[in-house]
């Protein structure tokens, strides 16, 4: 699954209802046990009376982390009839179940379904009790006597609602010929197949699926497999699909609606289609091209052909995640799949490529070989994130995607330096815990430690071992330890010991490097942004370069302290010249480095004399920023280092410089309010030169990276309050509003102009705001609507900010996009936004039903503050308002507030900061 942004998508299960015994009508004292109904609880319609159960109790299965293993599914015959007008569905399922131990119970999953208890049969046996545990999403069927060993068929009928929560079997709305219509869509990862049909809803219970759908004749109905046959009876057609290979329930998929498509084929003859709303198929051509190339590349890289006869990719208007890797039927948010040369930005094109490559990598790493349990989620997501960059780098080498990959690494380093982080492998004890771990640790840290292992082993050995793993575990499940065992066998390296230190414990080390004679003394300590040092110890693959990149050394740091002999590598440093040494060459290791004064000065000189690679330029500034936040370096020293980048022209490096400048600008408001204006001017000075070289207008033949760099720099200048850039954005916007086809505002720079307009908006001067709202309503392009929505709250005026935030309670904003209204908040509006959040909390929960999207409101507002008092206030407010779905997000946001408060204290007591700022401002 691809998250809609950095970070993960999560869905929380509803919780807690007691099982209550009720009697079926007509039976005195001997009816079946059934749970109370309650919202979200499967409801059972009464069946004929049956004998009371003999011995044992269903309650033994309450609250268990996993379903019992004494019975397992082998095959599902699933028949579904969705009603897209009434937004309901009915269905029946026949599950071939293998009973392998003595039991009188069948225990499976179901949620939000009404099950006809009189239809339940295992072979010819009717259950004597039907019990639901709502908080677990578990259905227990008790029989009068032990079930026979071997295979039998479990049948039942059920009905449900096509919900509006973007999980399970749900409805998505779209426009066709001016009228609103519904499509039916599934989203089952992680534990929501049970909301569509009763099943063993865990990854390890792989089975084959044979689906039948009854749908309106004029609609397209897609599933994992190709159509076997179709019969039409008037307005309804019955579609039977080919039987699937062994697969997990979370990968079953169904999409029903009006679509058109573009089509391609792989070198091995696999049919690939991109389905879109009617009239948008042209926008699917780029994704189709990337999809075909990805399947071709992965076939060779994984050493295994794509196992299904077709691959469909579908753009869905309402979709909580970025995309979902369902076997043979991948579903996407429209903006993650569609690209239009006329209305889409270069960054959108790149995002589509990476997302498609990510999801198709899952067809092998996740679908063909599936993690055994959600504890090993990172096996899916970390590898898909890493290998998607491998693929895109192959297709578009000019994008320099591996340098951009360091965005992923630094995102993960930032999250993993919190006490409230978690290990890559998280023990999952209950289904309600799963979706919290769809975050930067599972995705970006997972991908980063894979890159580290790839660097350590070398490309050829890594690829050979990975292909062996895929072949060994095809059509089955695996744990992290299984992967390391294959790698050890194939390479002879101590992979398990090395990698276990990175996957089983949270955090990462900072390597303290000091020169002592001809040696460099190294000491590792767990790095935490709050300034403390945790207990972690790692086996660290150290790389070092000295004076040049062709004399690198590699070794494993296994102890807390060790030394690196650098004399032979660096020569005599006292002779001057090119002496410098850089650890963690090109950022392949997941750790930070803190250098002593001599090493730091030499590196800064190498930076200024352009001796360092792009990746090392990024690593140095990112480490320095983190060390400053942790109060291990001064802000003044960070600013001096930052100033060395003033002539930089590379997109990836400037992307990180921009992140650091935004952080400094934000913290200066609280730490040094009297100096904040001068600090902003200094930050503008650093970014202005490359921005002026690029200008506002695209140039013939310029690179993809320069096309992305232009809006990034201009946006930064607007956010820093650069008057000339704001005025130019305002001017271009006014021309654009009169002439939407003007060349003065192409898709890449529109957001800059929109943000510039918002800097002058107020309740008494709202013409620009109204023009943006009109643009939002009238645009048919998803990317354009998101551009506008993401900046509508970007002003200081209370009335405008509240009006923008309240848009989420209207039908103008899809639930999946609601979080964007807090994305653009300025620090001056944080109290307004916080009060709004408190006053509307219950309303937000009802409006945005997906818990991770609710968490985004916390993440977008709470970290704007930088005081312990505010952290205490926020903590008190949420003391009785948290759920498992966003509890970790809240804790991490509060920790970030406290880290910022500590940084503020350090900056306030820092001597010479004002002098440093004035000195750098005065430099020519």
* HEC per residue, 100-113: CCCCCEEEEECCCE
Rounded CA gap, 132 and 34, in Å?
7
Q: Give the pair of three-digit tokens for residue 907.
A: 């900056």
Q: Give the pair of three-digit tokens for residue 251.
A: 């990968």
Q: Which residues of the chain have pLDDT under 70?
A: 4-55, 567-578
pLDDT at 578: 66
Residue 178: CB atoms within 10 A of its CB come to: 5
- Cβ(414)–Cβ(622) below 8 Å: no
Region of residue 579 (left: phi > 0; alpha: psi -120 to 50; beta: else):
beta
Rounded CA gap, 125 and 122, in Å?
5
Rounded CA gap, 66 and 69, in Å?
9
Q: What's the alpha-carbon Rg for the chain, to the nearest Å?
A: 29
Region of residue 758 (left: phi > 0; alpha: psi -120 to 50; beta: else):
alpha
SS3 886: coil
Residue the block writes with tokens 């009763």: 198
Rounded CA gap, 65 and 472, in Å?
28
Rounded CA gap, 733 and 755, in Å?
10
DSSP notation for 523-569: EEEEE-TTS-EES----EEEEEEESSSSS-EEEEE-SSEEEEE-HHH
Question: 381 among the known binding-site residues?
Answer: yes
SS3 141: strand
- Tell me which residue of 248, 253, 190, 327 sits closest to 73, measured CA to CA: 248
Rounded CA gap, 130 and 439, in Å?
37
Provide the sign of the torsion angle of the four alpha carbons 653, 659, 663, 666, taken in this order: positive
Residue the block writes with tokens 């009915």: 90
SS (H, E, C) 657-718: HHHHHHHHHHHHHHHCCCCHHHHHHHHHHHHHHHHHHHCCCCCCCCCHHHHHHHHHHHHHHH
Identify whether 425 is a catalytic site residue: no
DSSP notation for 610-659: T-S-HHHHHHHHHHHHHHHHTTSS-HHHHHHHHHTTTT---HHHHHHHHH
pLDDT at 44: 43
Helices 597-608 and 635-643 cross at an angle (nearest 10°) of: 30
Residue 625: CB atoms within 10 A of its CB come to: 24
Question: If residue 915 lies in a helix (H) or strand (E), which one and from where to where?
Answer: helix 913-922
pLDDT at 700: 94
Work out the angle at residue 689's Cα, subtended by the Cα atoms of residues 687 and 691, and round it to the nearest 5 degrees: 70
Q: Give the pair of three-digit tokens for residue 79.
A: 């028949």
Q: Give the pair of three-digit tokens for residue 297.
A: 């590349």
- Tell me which residue of 517, 519, 510 sits closest to 540, measured CA to CA: 510
User: Distance between alpha carbon 227 and the CA centroid of its chain, in Å?
Assistant: 32
Rounded CA gap, 478 and 573, in Å?
50
SS3 845: helix
Expressed in angstroms, the distance from the first to the final Cα of the chain is 49
Question: 358 among the known binding-site residues?
Answer: yes
- Tell me which residue of 350, 282, 274 sits closest to 311, measured CA to CA: 274
- Cβ(786)–Cβ(345) below 8 Å: no
Residue 840: CB atoms within 10 A of its CB come to: 18
- Cβ(24)–Cβ(42) below 8 Å: no
Rounded CA gap, 530 and 630, in Å?
6
- Tell me which residue of 646, 743, 734, 667 sits closest to 700, measured CA to CA: 743
Work out the angle at residue 874's Cα, subtended by the Cα atoms of residues 868 and 879, and round it to the nearest 5 degrees: 120
pLDDT at 780: 85
437's CB contacts (< 8 A; 6+ apart) are: 8, 374, 377, 422, 426, 428
DSSP character at residue 862: G
Question: 362 among the known binding-site residues?
Answer: yes
Catalytic residue among 359, 433, 444, 910: 359
Residue ranges in 241-400 assigned as alpha helix (H): 285-301, 334-337, 346-361, 377-395
Residue ranges in 362-475 assigned as alpha helix (H): 377-395, 401-404, 406-416, 446-457, 459-473
- Cβ(886)–Cβ(876) below 8 Å: no
β-partners of residue 370 are 477
SS3 562: strand
């Amino acid at each position: 699954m691809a998250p809609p942004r950095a970070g993960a998508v999560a869905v929380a299960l509803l919780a807690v209802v007691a099982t209550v015994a009720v009697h079926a009508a007509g039976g005195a004292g001997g009816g079946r046990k059934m749970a109370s109904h309650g919202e979200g609880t499967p409801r059972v319609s009464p069946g004929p009376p049956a004998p009371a159960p003999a011995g044992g109790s269903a309650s033994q299965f309450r609250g268990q982390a996993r379903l019992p293993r004494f019975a397992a599914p082998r095959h599902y015959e699933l028949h579904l009839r969705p009603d897209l007008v009434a937004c309901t569905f009915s269905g029946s399922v026949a599950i071939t179940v293998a009973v392998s131990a003595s039991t009188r119970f069948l225990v499976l999953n179901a949620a939000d379904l009404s099950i006809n208890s009189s239809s339940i049969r295992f072979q010819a046996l009717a259950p004597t009790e039907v019990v639901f545990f709502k908080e677990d999403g578990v259905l227990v069927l008790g029989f009068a006597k032990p079930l026979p060993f071997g295979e039998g068929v479990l049948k039942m009928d059920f009905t449900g609602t096509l919900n509006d929560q973007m999980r399970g079997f749900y409805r998505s709305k779209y426009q066709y010929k001016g009228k609103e219509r519904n499509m039916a869509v599934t989203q089952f990862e992680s534990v929501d197949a049970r909301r569509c049909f009763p099943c063993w809803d865990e990854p390890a219970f792989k089975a084959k699926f044979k689906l039948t759908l009854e749908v309106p004749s004029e609609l397209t109905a897609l599933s994992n497999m190709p159509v076997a046959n179709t019969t039409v009876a008037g307005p309804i057609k019955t579609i039977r699909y080919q039987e699937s290979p062994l697969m997990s329930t979370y990968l079953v998929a169904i999409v029903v609606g009006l679509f058109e498509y573009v089509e391609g084929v792989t070198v091995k003859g696999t049919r690939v289609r991109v389905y879109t709303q009617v009239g948008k198929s042209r926008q699917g051509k780029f994704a189709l091209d990337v999809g075909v190339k990805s399947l071709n590349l992965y076939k060779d890289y994984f050493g295994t052909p794509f196992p299904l006869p077709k691959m469909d990719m579908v753009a869905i208007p309402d979709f909580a995640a970025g995309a979902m890797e369902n076997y043979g039927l991948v579903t996407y948010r429209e903006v993650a799949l569609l690209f239009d040369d006329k209305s889409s930005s270069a960054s959108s094109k790149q995002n589509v490529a990476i997302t498609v490559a990510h999801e198709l990598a899952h067809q092998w790493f996740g679908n063909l070989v599936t993690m055994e349990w959600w504890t090993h989620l990172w096996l899916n997501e970390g590898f898909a994130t890493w290998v998607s960059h491998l693929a895109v780098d192959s297709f578009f080498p000019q994008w320099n995607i591996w340098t951009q990959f360091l965005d992923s690494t630094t995102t993960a380093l930032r999250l993993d330096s919190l006490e409230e982080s978690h290990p890559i492998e998280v023990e999952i004890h209950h289904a309600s815990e799963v979706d919290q771990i769809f975050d930067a640790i599972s995705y970006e840290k997972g991908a980063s430690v894979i890159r580290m292992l790839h660097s350590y082993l070398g490309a050829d050995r890594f690829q050979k071992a990975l292909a062996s793993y895929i072949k060994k575990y095809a059509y089955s499940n695996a744990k992290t330890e299984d992967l390391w065992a294959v790698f050890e066998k194939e390479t002879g390296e101590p992979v398990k010991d090395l990698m276990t230190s990175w996957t089983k414990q949270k955090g990462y080390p900072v390597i303290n490097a000091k020169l002592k004679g001809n040696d460099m003394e190294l000491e590792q300590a767990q790095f935490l942004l709050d300034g403390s040092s945790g207990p972690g110890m790692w086996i660290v693959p150290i790389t070092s370069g000295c004076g040049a990149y062709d004399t690198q050394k590699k070794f494993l740091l296994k102890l807390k302290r060790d030394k690196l002999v650098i004399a032979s590598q660096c020569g005599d440093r006292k002779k001057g010249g090119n002496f410098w040494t850089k650890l963690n060459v090109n950022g392949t290791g997941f750790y930070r480095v803190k250098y002593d004064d001599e090493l730091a000065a030499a590196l800064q000189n190498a930076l200024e004399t352009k001796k360092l690679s792009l990746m090392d330029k990024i690593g140095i500034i990112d480490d320095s920023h983190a060390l400053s936040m942790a109060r291990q370096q001064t802000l003044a020293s960070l600013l001096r280092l930052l100033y060395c980048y003033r002539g930089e022209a590379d997109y990836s490096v400037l992307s990180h410089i921009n992140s650091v400048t935004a952080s400094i600008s934000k913290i200066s408001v609280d730490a040094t309010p009297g100096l904040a204006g001068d600090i902003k001017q200094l930050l503008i000075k650093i970014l202005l030169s490359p921005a002026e070289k690029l200008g506002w207008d695209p140039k013939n033949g310029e690179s993809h990276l320069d096309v992305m760099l232009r809006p990034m720099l201009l946006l930064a200048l607007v956010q820093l309050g650069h008057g000339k850039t704001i005025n130019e954005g305002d001017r271009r916007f006014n021309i654009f509003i009169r002439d939407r086809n003007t060349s003065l505002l192409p898709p890449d720079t529109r957001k800059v102009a929109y943000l510039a307009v918002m800097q002058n908006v107020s309740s008494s001067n709202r013409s620009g705001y109204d023009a943006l709202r009109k643009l939002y309503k009238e645009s048919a392009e998803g990317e354009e609507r998101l551009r506008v929505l993401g900046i509508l709250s970007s002003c200081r005026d209370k009335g405008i900010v509240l009006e923008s935030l309240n848009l989420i309670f209207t039908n103008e904003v899809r639930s999946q996009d609601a979080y964007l209204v807090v994305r653009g908040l300025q620090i001056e509006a944080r109290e307004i936004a916080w009060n709004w959040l408190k006053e509307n909390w219950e309303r937000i929960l009802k409006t945005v039903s997906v818990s991770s999207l609710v968490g985004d409101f916390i993440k977008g507002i709470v970290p704007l503050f930088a005081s312990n008092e505010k952290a205490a206030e926020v903590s008190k407010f949420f003391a009785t308002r948290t759920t498992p779905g966003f509890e970790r997000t809240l804790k991490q946001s509060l920790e970030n507030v406290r880290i910022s408060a500590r940084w503020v204290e350090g900056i306030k007591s820092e001597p010479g900061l004002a002098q440093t700022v004035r000195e750098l401002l005065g430099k020519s």
